A and B are shown apart, each in its own frame.
Chain A
């Protein structure tokens, strides 16, 4: 294959968002992991176990483990992933809130505020689950956690607003259902793309472990203040290796960024991902004097 043909294919892959690992493999003939895989942030689908999911002594599927994202989840960080054109059914108030997030609001997570639910469900970051006898604890990479009790069917009356909401849970055969209301009215983005979330949101997560190597969630989002009708988001994670685990991460330790951050998540491409489609970093960039500095 001629080099320019390869180049054109790669450019097309870059635009279309086809898994980069495949592009690199074809270009080099080597098995080179993508950067996220190299950094241990993505699971290895080829090695995911298809054995039956383990169960706890009380017979429930055991969700415990270190869970990593999959190349199959695209676009990551976009709560509209499963909707046609990734288009969310925003109300007028929702559109106004989105406009504010894009133009006035610095990403809450970059201010070291908990992302909450459902944003954590859409995140690319790995997480851990520790399942006990009467609750499931989710541990997130930014050293946040939530603990959801089993067999609680009624929300607190007038719960204090929180980022994870007032969460109750119960089992429906092998599915663990988490029902959440009582969210914060500000400082929450529903996803990485800056889409809005209101205090009227009701999130219902249905968690399953179809086999030992996979964890799945389907989230139903009902937020009448910002969305005209409810919608769903679903994805699957891949089990990490037994020796993988979360490490300490203190977001507020040295958040130098805060003084320099502008609003919004950056550009959103037509494929629902965030980021730039500009030329790569030059081999020899100019010196600061080129910018009068």
Chain B
């Protein structure tokens, strides 16, 4: 537990000092008080600028299926973290942790993504001022990145 807290605090320290280099601030689009986990199946992938998007079909408790959009960093940023475009494909099951959009749409900031190969990567836009994610703190130590 103590180790987990230390890693979390290190994550805060890292993200606190990140620079304003994102395409937009986290706060302009997402709600830092509404963390959410999506567990679903990929239906579309957009490996694009200024952000990459992937779309998940997520089952709700009533048996319905809702499509969610997940916003990630741009392709160059994701690649530098070791997340290549071939790491996900349509039909893959993903677990994505992030934050809900402020406008109430089914859109999240995909800050932590568990890939099909078992790696967990930081999917957000570095330096957007968003809440810290301990998985971003020490990727080499946690095995979260190939870098």
Residues of A within 8 A of B (CB): 3-4, 6-7, 10-11, 13-15, 17-20, 23-24, 27-28, 30, 32, 34-36, 38-41, 69, 71, 73-74, 76-78, 106-107, 109-110, 112, 123-125, 192-193, 247, 249-251, 253-257, 260-267, 273-291, 293
Instruction: Identify the closest chain A residue to B39 (Cβ).
Output: A287
Do B21 and A123 have beta carbons less than 8 Å apart?
yes
Which residue of B13, B16, B28 contacts A110 across the interface (Cβ within 8 Å)?
B28
B77 touches A (CB below 8 Å): yes
Do B37 and A285 have beta carbons less than 8 Å apart?
yes
Instruction: Identify the closest chain A residue to B112 (Cβ).
Output: A281
Q: List 15 extra interface pairs beyond A264-B27, A276-B130, CB under 8 A.
A: A11-B12, A18-B17, A27-B10, A30-B141, A76-B19, A76-B21, A253-B50, A267-B27, A275-B129, A276-B129, A280-B134, A281-B99, A288-B36, A293-B66, A293-B106
Q: Decide if the interface of chain B is mainly helix, strand, loop or mixed.
A: mixed
Q: How far is the CB of B110 from chain A (nearest CB, A)?
A: 11
Do B10 and A288 have beta carbons less than 8 Å apart?
no
Candidate in B33, B34, B111 with the most chain A CB atoms within 10 angstroms = B34
Tell me the bound Cα distance from A36 to B141 in angstroms: 16
Residues A10 and B20 in contact in the complex (CB < 8 Å), given A110-B28, A253-B50 = no
Residues A17 and B32 in contact in the complex (CB < 8 Å), given A4-B2, A10-B12, A107-B24 = no
Q: How far is the CB of B2 from chain A (nearest CB, A)?
A: 4
Do A3 and B23 have beta carbons less than 8 Å apart?
no
Set of chain A residues within 8 Å of B132, measured between Cβ atoms: 280-281
Instruction: Identify the closest chain B residue to A258 (Cβ).
Output: B24
Q: How far is the CB of A275 from chain B (nearest CB, A)?
A: 3
Tell me the bound Cα distance from A4 to B129 in angstroms: 26
Do B14 and A35 have beta carbons less than 8 Å apart?
yes
Do B97 and A32 have beta carbons less than 8 Å apart?
no
Set of chain B residues within 8 Å of A277, measured between Cβ atoms: 12, 16
Residues A265 and B61 in contact in the complex (CB < 8 Å), given A11-B12, A249-B49, A253-B48 = no
Q: Which of B101-142 contact A (CB under 8 A)?
A: 101-103, 105-107, 111-112, 122, 126-141
Q: How far is the CB of A15 from chain B (nearest CB, A)?
A: 8
Q: How far is the CB of B38 from chain A (nearest CB, A)?
A: 7
Do B37 and A266 have beta carbons less than 8 Å apart?
no
* 11 sample A-B contacts, Cβ–Cβ < 8 Å, listed by A number: A3-B6, A11-B9, A32-B140, A32-B141, A34-B17, A77-B20, A254-B46, A262-B103, A281-B112, A288-B66, A288-B100
Instruction: Identify the closest chain B residue to A275 (Cβ).
Output: B129
Number of residues from B at the complex interface, CB < 8 A: 83
Q: How far is the CB of B56 from chain A (nearest CB, A)?
A: 11
Tell me the bound Cα distance from A260 to B20 in angstroms: 19
Mask of B40-79 contacts with A, CB within 8 angstroms, 1/0: 0000001011110100001011000010110100101100
Set of chain A residues within 8 Å of B12, measured between Cβ atoms: 10-11, 14, 277, 280
Do A274 and B35 have beta carbons less than 8 Å apart?
no
Q: How far is the CB of A287 from chain B (nearest CB, A)?
A: 6
Which residue of B10, B18, B25, B99 contacts A36 across the interface (Cβ within 8 Å)?
B18
Which residue of B27, B39, B74, B133 contacts A280 across the interface (Cβ within 8 Å)?
B133
B8 touches A (CB below 8 Å): yes
Which residue of A3, A261, A287 contacts B36 across the interface (Cβ within 8 Å)?
A287
Which residue of A10, A257, A287 contacts B37 across the interface (Cβ within 8 Å)?
A287
Do B28 and A263 have beta carbons less than 8 Å apart?
yes
Set of chain B residues within 8 Å of A39, measured between Cβ atoms: 77, 80-81, 126
Residues A251 and B53 in contact in the complex (CB < 8 Å), given A11-B12, A20-B14, A285-B97 = no
Tell me the bound Cα distance from A257 to B28 in angstroms: 10
Set of chain A residues within 8 Å of B46, measured between Cβ atoms: 254
Which residue of A106, A257, A273 contacts B50 across the interface (Cβ within 8 Å)?
A257
Tell me the bound Cα distance from A39 to B14 in angstroms: 13
Do A110 and B23 have beta carbons less than 8 Å apart?
yes
Do A77 and B50 have beta carbons less than 8 Å apart?
no
Set of chain B residues within 8 Å of A276, measured between Cβ atoms: 26-27, 32, 129-131
